[in-house]
Amino acid sequence: MNFGLDETQKAFETLARDFLDRECSPQVVRQAEEAEAGFSPQLYQKLADQGLLGLNIDEEFGGSAVGYTEIVLFCQQAGSHLLPGPYVPLLTAAEIIRRHGTADQKQRILPSIAQGEAMPLPAWLEGSNDCRFEQSSLQSRATQQGDVYHLQGCKKFVPFGSSATHFLWLAASGEEGGVSDQTTLFLFPAEEGSAQVTDFETQGGARVSDVSVEAECPADGVVGAVDQGWSVLCLGLELGRVATAAYALGAAEKALEMGVQYAIERHQFGRPIGSFQAIQHKLATCRCLVEQAKWLTFHAAGLMDGGNPATGEASMAKLAACRALRETATASSLVHGGYGFMQEYDIQLYFRRAKDVENWCGSLLIDRDLILRSALDPVDQAR
């Protein structure tokens, strides 16, 4: 099994690193935390200008149409630089529309995503299903009245909901009290008055939102087939979880690098603190976790590049990478001593971001659930 990069992939990785070195410094990350939106729209426009918002969008719609491995390479660099904002949710939304949208939806939305003009965000989690991935727990409903659907409900933990131009809204579409596995995914504008958004700031400086909707959506807003929204969403979240794993992997690698560098530079009792066995073993364990996460992440991306299902593998990669980030950021903070918890030092940015990343594309509880399902029923992983 060869996980090596070819020359084109190496060049793309270098391009991503150089761009983020210039445009996403720790100072930019700190400024984003203080901004009202929680990220810099100007930075996202620069991402669009470089073709980095349309990595999974076909060229006919203005995208770059790279492979999933290349997407992982960029997200790895994004994590290393702690790129703020809804980059992974945007990837997820673009994937859903690219694979299941109508010709009109693709033409209207995908070029706008690639150009940095549209920001459709998935809204699917509810208070009743934040721990289990089951469509039967949905309370949001879609009631058809002629050629229009009446949408009503509330979603939780929508990333950067106040910045959304559109929502990808999952709702139960069967008769009231009827079949529980009838759900439909809708794409509609986040127009003023149709959605009430309440923002919360996370410990990592990001924004998540509770979104309440009572809106009318025409039938041409259905993404995929009616009553098949769950499977449509699952395939998009597959990429979202791999991208999240790559982001967490990049952040963990950077946190480990910072811990090692400080252990070399910091002297105590006449020698570098990295010469003490307790420090060495802590960092060695972290390196093992990072390497495990790397292979799982690139393995999942490789499966997807080959057109294979990777629901269980994507969740395993995310689970491993988030654990690597959490433990590596904690260990590196402790290596820094008291400095590790001071705002002037960059390591605290990674320590605080670790918890945020765990909840991207669903909590780790959901990932564990999906891993078990894929092991028990590999033929029907997305059920």
pLDDT digits (tens, 9 = 90+) for 68-92: 999 999 999 999 999 999 999 999 9
pLDDT band for position 130 (cuts 50, 70, 90): low
The predicted pLDDT at position 135 comes to: 74
The predicted pLDDT at position 36 comes to: 93
The predicted pLDDT at position 382 comes to: 46
Identity of the residue numbered 309: P
Dihedral (C-alpha) 296, 263, 354, 132: value to the nearest 10 degrees?
50
Answer yes or no: do 248 and 370 share one domain.
yes
pLDDT band for position 381 (cuts 50, 70, 90): very low
Answer yes or no: do 239 and 130 share one domain.
no
Find the mean pLDDT for residues 192-205.
Answer: 86
The predicted pLDDT at position 54 comes to: 97
Find the mean pLDDT for residues 243-253.
Answer: 98
| Backbone angles phi and psi of 167, in degrees to 5 | -120, 140
Answer yes or no: do 374 and 248 share one domain.
yes
Could you tell me the sign of the dihedral formed by the alpha carbons of 96, 102, 105, 110, in that order?
Answer: positive
Number of domains in the chain: 3
The predicted pLDDT at position 132 comes to: 59
Answer yes or no: do 94 and 214 share one domain.
no
DSSP H stretches of helix in 66-150:
68-80, 87-100, 103-114
Residue range of the domain that includes 30: 7-119
The answer to the question of residue 2 being in a domain is no
Answer yes or no: do 132 and 98 share one domain.
no
Q: Is the pTM of the predicted complex or chain greater than 0.85?
A: yes
